[in-house]
Amino acid sequence: MTVVPIRQPIDGRRRPMFIGGLWVDAASGQTFETRNPATGEVIATVPRGGRQDIERAVAAARNAFVGPWSRFKPHERQKLLLRIADLFERHWEEICISDTTDMGLPIARARGNANRVLGMLRYYAGMATALHGETIENSLPGDIVSFTRKEPVGVVGAIIPWNAPTAASVWKIGPALATGCTVVLKPSEEAPLTPLLIAELMAEAGVPDGVVNVVTGTGAEAGAPLAEHMGVDKIVFTGSTLTGQSIVRASAGNLKRVSLELGGKSPVIVCADADLERAVPVAAMSVFANSGQICIAGSRLFVARSIHDEFVERLSAYAASLRIGNGIDPETEIGPLISQRQLDRVEGYLRAGSEEGARLVAGGTRLSDGAFAAGNFIAPTVFAGVSDTMRIAREEIFGPVISALPFDTLDEAVRRANDTPYGLAAGVFTRDLATAHQLSRRLQAGSVWVNTYHAIDPAVPFGGYKMSGYGREGGGEHLGEYLNTKGVFIRID
């Protein structure tokens, strides 16, 4: 793929943010640095947006919502989304480089996400012309026609984490454009650059001023004012369960609608009849991909006791074979963690695992020699002899750490798998069709994958059970989250 340079409102390392169609600094004039997590190098400074900037962005989004954007017909919004998808396709390599340098995602993996992200944009484009209410027969006296209308909820505040800036931005902005909403996006302070690039591409595609705004800044200074803003009609949030809870509290002022994609501690159950050739690499990458910084990481690996030792041995060999390094190298399979803070956090869990009596069978250390010295690298880690009560088996680590737990019966595996406050995803490996169906029914998770993992499609809803959140992204339900339903009665006799 080739890099196609685009119009750059950005000068060197200073990147302004995007409000009301203008590239602007923070009202305070303050900035913060963003670093390449593989090298520690500062790659840009961006505005440290705050309450005043959120005010300005919400006002711009409101003006756009009631302005010409409200008269865009569905087919015009469709054309716009298709143009955005085409521009993304042309600039895909640039988007990948941005994600790789800002948050460490291996470029091979970033490139591999093209179909998913472009597919999402084109799916929303299709949905833009498929929105409709219903005519409903009523039992009222007289001659009254009743029907429903679907109307955009209005100004949407979108708050996203660092671990998938491109997909997370598109998952928030795409449905807003399809339904006629406007957006104020607050990227993670750890990875703000791709969302800014996305704003640039959207403007180039012809998204009207104020329809998409990006305010960079911290959670406390920019995220919280957005979550509590009385002029915001809906918040879509992806991030930790703890922050999700504070978003819900902040939303109470105007009872804005909220959808939450939160954390997880997802189980993967490997049955005795599983195809190990397939199960070992897929189970490994269910956690090691993106250095474990994935909400759906299959970090609790329940393995049938009869195959447990062999499985752990093969898994450990696989972990040790993975190529770790700067994600910009196309051969790299495992990149760095996002920050020193995240590195400290994951190292804390490595210590906790050993202190609580788990047996370290692969990895378990920070990599700090030579080219690794300036980055935040952790070797893919496998713990065996883990019990359900250990912290590494209960808490979301958000690092490349798997805990293997043997089981004796499927009933026991399901009970233990469901014994968590989370319910984002689950995996099953079996050759038996009945087991596949039974477990996919009994596991309490928003997504269940059998003999695969990470399968996400724009047309299939994704989201959490329990403390992994509510609301769905993907599928028809997703657009419903951006729409109000109005019942209309017209007396015609």
Give whichever of 180 and 217 is closer to ligand NAD, judged by the CB atom.
217
Give whichever of 64 and 397 is closer to ligand NAD, judged by the CB atom.
397
Residue in 181, 221, 295, 473 annotated catalytic: 295
Q: Minimal distance in Å, beta carbon 171 to ligand NAD? A: 8
402 to 431, contacts with ligand NAD by CB under 6 A?
Answer: 424
Residue in 189, 261, 396, 473 annotated catalytic: 261
Q: Minimal distance in Å, beta carbon 306 to ligand NAD? A: 32
Nearest-CA neighbor of 251 among 263, 264, 233?
A: 233
181 to 200, contacts with ligand NAD by CB under 6 A?
Answer: 186, 188-189
Q: Minimal distance in Å, beta carbon 187 to ligand NAD? A: 6
Among 161, 175, 353, 399, binds ligand NAD (CB under 6 A): 161
Give whichever of 101 and 430 is closer to ligand NAD, judged by the CB atom.
101
Give whichever of 238 and 316 is closer to ligand NAD, judged by the CB atom.
238
Q: How far apart are CA 173 and CA 176, in angstroms?
A: 5
To the query of whether residue 261 is one of the catalytic residues in this protein, the response is yes
Q: Minimal distance in Å, beta carbon 264 to ligand NAD? A: 6
* Contact between 363 and 354 (Cβ < 8 Å): no
Give whichever of 77 and 466 is closer to ligand NAD, judged by the CB atom.
466
Q: Minimal distance in Å, beta carbon 378 to ligand NAD? A: 16
* Piece in contact with ligand NAD (CB under 6 A), picked from 41-49, 56-64, 240-248, 280-288: 240-248
* Contact between 197 and 274 (Cβ < 8 Å): no
Give whichever of 326 and 342 is closer to ligand NAD, judged by the CB atom.
342
Per-residue b or e along 218-251, where b marks 16 or more CB atoms closer than 10 Å to that residue's CB: bbebbbbbbbbbebbbbbbbbbbbebbebbeebb
First to last CA, the chain: 65
To the query of whether residue 200 is one of the catalytic residues in this protein, the response is no
Q: Minimal distance in Å, beta carbon 259 to ligand NAD? A: 10
Distances (CA, A) of 448 to 124, 257, 278: 24, 27, 17
452 to 481, contacts with ligand NAD by CB under 6 A?
Answer: 464, 469
Give yes or no for residue 396 binding ligand NAD (CB under 6 A).
yes
Q: How far apart are CA 355 and CA 130, in angstroms?
A: 56
95 to 134, contacts with ligand NAD by CB under 6 A?
Answer: none
* Contact between 446 and 423 (Cβ < 8 Å): yes
Q: Minimal distance in Å, beta carbon 464 to ligand NAD? A: 6
Q: Minimal distance in Å, beta carbon 272 to ligand NAD? A: 30
Number of residues that bind ligand NAD (CB under 6 A): 30
For the window 130-149, what string marks contact with ligand NAD as x by the rule CB under 6 A?
--------------------
* Piece in contact with ligand NAD (CB under 6 A), picked from 142-150, 175-183, 218-226, 302-310: 218-226
Give whichever of 180 and 458 is closer to ligand NAD, judged by the CB atom.
458
Give the chain as a 3 state SS string. CCCCCCCCCCECCECCEEECCEEECCCCCCEEEEECCCCCCEEEEEECCCHHHHHHHHHHHHHHHHCHHHHCCHHHHHHHHHHHHHHHHHCHHHHHHHHHHHHCCCHHHHHHCHHHHHHHHHHHHHHHCCCCCCEECCCCCCCEEEEEEEEECCEEEEECCCCCHHHHHHHHHHHHHHHCCEEEEECCCCCCHHHHHHHHHHHHHCCCCCCEEECCCCHHHHHHHHHHCCCCCEEEEECCHHHHHHHHHHHHHHCCEEEEECCCCCEEEECCCCCHHHHHHHHHHHHHHHHHCCCCCCCEEEEEHHHHHHHHHHHHHHHHHCCECCCCCCCCCECCCCCHHHHHHHHHHHHHHHHCCCEEEECCCEECCHHHCCCCEECCEEEECCCCCCHHHHCCCCCCEEEEEEECCHHHHHHHHHCCCCCCEEEEECCCHHHHHHHHHHCCCCEEEECCCCCCCCCCCECCCHHHCCCCECHHHHHHCCEEEEEEEEECC
Q: Minimal distance in Å, beta carbon 13 to ligand NAD? A: 21
219 to 238, contacts with ligand NAD by CB under 6 A?
Answer: 219-220, 223-224, 227, 238
295 to 354, contacts with ligand NAD by CB under 6 A?
Answer: 295
For the window 29-48, what string marks contact with ligand NAD as x by the rule CB under 6 A?
--------------------
Give whichever of 53 and 189 is closer to ligand NAD, judged by the CB atom.
189
241 to 300, contacts with ligand NAD by CB under 6 A?
Answer: 243, 246-247, 261-264, 295
Give whichever of 209 and 473 is closer to ligand NAD, judged by the CB atom.
473
Footprint of ligand NAD (CB under 6 A)? 159-163, 186, 188-189, 218-220, 223-224, 227, 238-240, 243, 246-247, 261-264, 295, 396, 398, 424, 464, 469
Active-site residues, by number, are 261, 295
